[in-house]
Amino acid sequence: MRLFHHAPASILFFIIGFSVAVPAHEFSGPQGSVRVDWAAEHVRNVYSSGYGDSFGMEAAVKLGFPVRTTVEGYDCVEGSYLLFDIDDRFAFDIDETVELEVLIDRRASSGLRVSYDRNARAEPMFEVSFDAGSSDLVRQRIRLDRARFANRGEAHTDLMLAAISAYFPGIPDHDHRIVLCDLKIHRSNETQQPAEFGRLRLAVTDSSGQPVPARAGLYAQNGRQPLPSRDALPIKNYDDVNRQLFLRATHVSATPWPHSNRHVFYTDGHYSATIPVGTYTLVLSKGPEFRVHQQDVVVSPGTETVVAARLQRWSSMPASGWYSGDDHVHIKRHRSDNAPVMAIMQAEDIHLTNVLQMGNPASPYFEQYAMGLAGRYVASGHSLVPGVEDPRTALRGHTISLNIDEVIRDKDSYLLYDRVFARYRAQGGMSGYAHVAGDWFNVGRGLALDVPLGVVDFIEVLQDGELDTTHWYDILDLGFNVAPSAGSDFPYLNQPGAERVYVQVDGEFTADAWFDGLKAGKSFVTNGPMLELSANGAGIGATIDAEPGDTIEITAYGGLNPDHETLDRLELIVHGEVIASASNENDSEALLIRHTLTVEHGVWLALRATGRTQALAHSAPIFIVTDERGFRNDEKTPEIVSKMLARLAEYESLQVDIGSELEVWEVGEALDAMLGSQRESILTSVERAREVYQGLLDDVAAWH
């Protein structure tokens, strides 16, 4: 990966839309980070980026990077959002009230958003409206409670100011830029420096006494977590390397965590640190199959406190042949990164992690040192396997290809997803669509074209705490077998393994066996609940041949670790409709459904589970076939085909919408050129897809 990319002025001109020439910026990494040439007292550096992600605030530059400007004689900076690295000599690892004094041009925006490195809270975002006054330049004070300023933000910054509509994925309007003309930082100097320290030594083991990696939180009575020592595992977060991570609580749903401070770190099983004396709450977790461990720890002055924590299983899915995977993790990886990355994945109990290079029409990011077998890393029954999220556009969706031998980045066929998928399949890989949960980046348009062409193996139906089956149910009802998958999209959305896919493996667990199981549809997606489903003794992914009038005996089970959440409901789904369900009346850990289904024609059936707050799970189907129609839903097919044809019609007038692209700062010129040269080939594929849909309609008409 090139560390610095020079964005052509033509791209920035297109993005910003100014009527004058715009100077190019140097930017680096997948976030498009830039250093801003503007200074303030007690600020060491000022940064911005194309996509910002700090202290729970996510912001997107869609009207250009920050620029310096002069307002009423003041040297000001204008931008969508700004990151401030507070000079450590002025404030570092504090715990006190801090006041910001800002001088803002109110003509540019009506307010701003603030987030910062805070004690005891990971995402302390809030909005500020500017005070009324007679002057266009307003000087305003902003209170920051329990500021910490320990360099835990993007590019190791401490404070983030953003325009109101710059919050991702906000639409640019008059509130997309702020003009900051002065920034002063006033400390209260209330921080109490610890007078005494003690030593903590932690050993984490499994039930057999073997050391195991785990996710950890260590919290003082005031909620403050001591900064992790160098024993904590390094976490590659975008282009930064940290030893602390926070569990998001500002997205669709929040990963369960028993403490209000959602900052965590990872240990390989052995951890030691010198910390202030006092009583701490220790929290340890290891994915949804292990009980969450909590205990109080007292650290005394001048002594070593030894804590031996043994993690207990709640369930063991591998014992019945099911192994967890995350299909969507972005970490730039060299060989030297394998051991710490693997330890983090083991701490989250992910057996197979797909570590994805990510690309767009202009650049690749999160590169892997090798693809194929040379890029795999296997340790203690866990695997890191390289893959790719590419092609990736908002024109027709983001794609993922797994278990591939080499990355295909062909500018002449970049938008011809079906051809790219076919080439990956020739390598022995499998391809599908990301972000189907959430329906992001026009993924429905991409699915409408590529599913009937037979090149889509899987789709992400669970992500970022959201289970969205709309597209998937339509695909299944048309008679196409596409497996469900799930992934965290770390670091963009969630911590590794927050959403995962379990795959049934025949025999010994290997990466190849896991991919074979996913391709065969022996999978269920979950952020907590565990599922079992059988029909006449056949399991998830099976096809059962039957005659009209036959009865199918169905057994369905759902369980949920009580340390994470309480299971609420279990539902048996046939052709997208609930035909049987079980509700949790007694706060039990598991629910069971036994149901007899009489079949008159082919169907697909699956299992869905929900918790009382955020837990979600869904199985891949079992298919029951009575004739050559397979499991198609003839009743719904005409309506679904109509939707698919409407999406295909969009390709005839397809245009680049640069504001919909995530890396808006660099993709415009390359994407415009690709669409211009590949439009006719795309339309040829569209005609092939239309023929498939027409064939479905003709076949339905012939049967009825």
Q: Which domains does the chain have, with CATH numbers?
A: 28-187 (2.60.120), 197-310 (2.60.40.1120), 319-527+639-704 (3.20.20.140), 528-633 (2.60.40.10)
Closest CA relative to residue 619, chosen from 703, 443, 475, 501: 501
What residue type is assigned to position 545 of the chain? Answer: D
At 409, list the tokens.
């980045």
pLDDT computed for residue 513 by the predictor:
98
- Angle of the 9-16 helix axis to the 668-703 helix axis, nearest 10: 60
With tokens 């192994």, the residue in question is 323
Longest dimension (CA), the chain: 85
Alpha-carbon gap, residue 559 to 527, rounded angstroms: 12
pLDDT computed for residue 252 by the predictor:
84
User: Which H or E element spans position 346?
Assistant: helix 338-347
Partner residues linked to 183 by β-bridges? 102
pLDDT computed for residue 170 by the predictor:
77
Closest CA relative to residue 415, chosen from 457, 449, 384, 462: 449
Strands (E) in 478-528, as ranges, are 483-486, 500-504, 523-526
At 492, list the tokens.
């963009």
Are 514 and 527 spatial neighbours (Cβ–Cβ below 8 Å)? Answer: no
Which residues of the chain have a pLDDT value below 70? 1-27
With tokens 């910002």, the residue in question is 52
Burial of 95 (0-12, 13-18, 19+ CB in 10 A): buried
User: Which H or E element spans position 609?
Assistant: strand 603-611
At 529, list the tokens.
């609940």
At 461, list the tokens.
């139906």
pLDDT computed for residue 4 by the predictor:
24
In Å, how far are 94, 179, 351, 469 from 483, measured between CA atoms? 49, 49, 19, 12
pLDDT computed for residue 218 by the predictor:
98
Omega before residue 169 within 30° of 0, cis:
yes
- The stretches of 348-491 forming alpha helices (DSSP H) are 417-426, 443-450, 470-477
Closest CA relative to residue 647, chosen from 390, 439, 457: 439
- The stretches of 451-529 forming alpha helices (DSSP H) are 470-477, 511-519
Q: Alpha-carbon dihedral of residues 62, 64, 68, 74, nearest 10 degrees?
A: -30
Partner residues linked to 580 by β-bridges? 572
